[in-house]
């Protein structure tokens, strides 16, 4: 590794980019206006930059241009303010990418049907950028992916433009970068993983430290210059591969610990022990323990997916990731556990699952948000239907189930009125939204299967509750 630790990197395009950022004349483009891209675009707009949001969905673009929001926790007044002040605009015309000084990629990185990484959105986006790439532009990949994606997939596609950004080692202490390119840098390329937690009221986007890495020192410093204008704290790492692994580690850590408590929940059910009580007791320890909670399965855009990106990449190095794969298997099996618990509960009442009327409460993958991605509720509904049950659902955020890559259930929300609740053989609490009146649900339902410990404070009619 040939790194000149005493050299502070300077190059023409870096100096030009930094001066534009400092003057806030740099134009920022964000590709993908979903749960990650839209908050990011609005954050830069709020900090005085002219921001263009790019998306393939014309309905999203139309709504944004009217100052409307399709994400519940993002205020329409904020969108409208930035549109009116011409700090933010949305478009489906990707030719405007050539006008951007920074292009931030926030597109999905799902798994395919074989649970292998699907980088088509990332690669296609890089292909779209390439014809418009010009000297001095910064491109930042924010999508969560396996180590090596920025260097091995995105960089070669962008270099089809005829411009180059050589991979070059540098040294960082987390705040400063030293190193020497050795070759001319013609465009800047970096990776900075998104760390959004939709619905989290404790940490706003700008409060979450931003991990940054470039394919070379100039790219790292340019990205830091930009993001430090919008985020309260940045942290540099020495390579895009290290930054990619950082995000995978964060989500794998959560996946493995959730799998642990899910497995312990199954054991505690057999032993007649309340796992929720055990967790509450354990978390009184002021060190060495972080509380994770069991549930009906994993959901969201990160935790159910990202560990499989790592296990797939590990096979390239002939390294078995048995611990991670086992955690994935446990978490993936939880909807089947819910189905089995529900069937057992009905059997004790001399009913069978086939033709049973079931109401599933909650579609979002976690409470109080309008995000159904990878929600275990959808898998539970699918399993119930396959078993012959007649299934309805309610969710305050979804009047109708949206069509998604894996599911097209075509159901409409049913209001959980006392009369409606009484008609169902069993009510399943799959997402513990704060808006639900749990004492009323237990009072009026014949049977309640609680996957979230939402009924812990309910004192009356506890004989109707099955916690699983």
Our measurement of the distance from residue 357's CA atom to the centroid of its chain's CA atoms, rounded to an integer in Å, reads 33
The DSSP secondary-structure symbol of 209 reads P
Token digits for 252? 């794998």
Joined together, the tokens standing for residue 187 give: 């465009």
Indicate left, alpha or beta for 350 from its phi (over 0: left) and psi (-120 to 50: alpha): left
Beta partners for residue 138, in sequence order:
102, 188
Helix (H) or strand (E) holding 465: strand 465-467
Q: Which own/partner pairs from 314-317 qualify as long-range (CB within 8 Å, at least 24 positions apart)? A: none
* DSSP at 87: S
Enclosing H/E stretch for 253? helix 240-271
Please compute Rg for the chain using Cα positions: 24
Parallel, antiparallel, or unpaired: how do β-strands 390-394 and 234-236 relate?
A: unpaired
- Nearest Cα to 375, choosing from 447, 321, 299? 299
What amino acid positions are annotated as catalytic residues?
302
Sign of the alpha-carbon torsion through 41, 243, 119, 397:
negative
């Amino acid at each position: 590794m040939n790194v000149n630790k005493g050299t502070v990197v300077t190059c023409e395009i870096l100096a030009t980019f930094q001066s534009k950022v400092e003057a806030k004349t740099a134009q920022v483009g964000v590709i993908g206006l979903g749960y990650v891209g839209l908050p990011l675009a609005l954050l830069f707009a709020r900090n005085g930059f002219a921001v263009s949001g790019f998306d393939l969905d014309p309905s999203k673009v139309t709504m944004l241009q009217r100052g409307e929001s399709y994400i519940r926790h993002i205020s329409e007044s904020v969108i409208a303010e930035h549109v009116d002040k011409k700090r933010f605009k949305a478009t489906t015309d990707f030719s405007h990418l050539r006008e951007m000084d920074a292009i931030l990629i926030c597109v999905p990185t799902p798994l395919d049907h074989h649970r292998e990484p699907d980088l088509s959105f990332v690669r296609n986006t890089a292909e779209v950028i390439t014809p418009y790439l010009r000297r001095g532009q910064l491109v930042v990949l924010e999508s969560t992916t396996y180590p090596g994606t920025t260097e091995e997939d995105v960089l070669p596609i962008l270099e089809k433009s005829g411009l180059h950004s050589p991979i070059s080692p540098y040294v960082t202490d987390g705040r400063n970068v030293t190193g020497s390119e050795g070759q001319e840098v013609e465009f800047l390329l970096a990776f900075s993983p998104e760390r959004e937690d939709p619905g989290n009221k404790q940490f706003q986007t700008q409060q979450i430290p931003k991990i940054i890495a470039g394919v070379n020192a100039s790219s790292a410093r340019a990205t830091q210059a930009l993001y430090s204008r919008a985020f309260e704290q940045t942290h540099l790492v020495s390579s895009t591969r290290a930054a990619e692994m950082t995000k995978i580690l964060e989500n794998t850590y959560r996946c493995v610990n959730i799998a642990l408590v899910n497995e312990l929940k199954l054991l505690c059910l057999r032993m007649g022990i309340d796992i929720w009580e055990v967790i509450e007791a354990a978390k009184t320890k002021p060190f060495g323990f972080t509380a994770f909670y069991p549930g009906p399965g994993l959901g969201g855009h990160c935790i159910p997916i990202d560990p499989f990106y790592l296990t797939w990449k590990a096979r390239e190095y002939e390294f078995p990731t048995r611990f991670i794969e086992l955690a994935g298997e446990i978490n993936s099996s939880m909807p089947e556990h819910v189905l089995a618990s529900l069937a057992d509960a009905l059997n004790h009442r001399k009913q069978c699952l086939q033709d049973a009327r079931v109401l599933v409460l909650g579609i979002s993958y976690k409470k109080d948000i309008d995000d159904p991605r990878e929600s275990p509720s959808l898998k539970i509904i699918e399993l119930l239907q396959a078993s012959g049950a007649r299934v309805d659902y309610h969710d305050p955020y979804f009047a109708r189930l949206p069509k998604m890559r894996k599911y097209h259930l075509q159901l409409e929300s049913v209001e959980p009125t006392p009369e409606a609740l009484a008609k169902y053989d069993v009510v399943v609490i799959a997402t513990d939204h704060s808006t639900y009146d749990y004492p009323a649900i237990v009072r009026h339902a014949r049977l309640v299967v609680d996957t979230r410990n939402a009924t812990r404070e309910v004192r009356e009619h506890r004989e109707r509750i099955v916690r699983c």
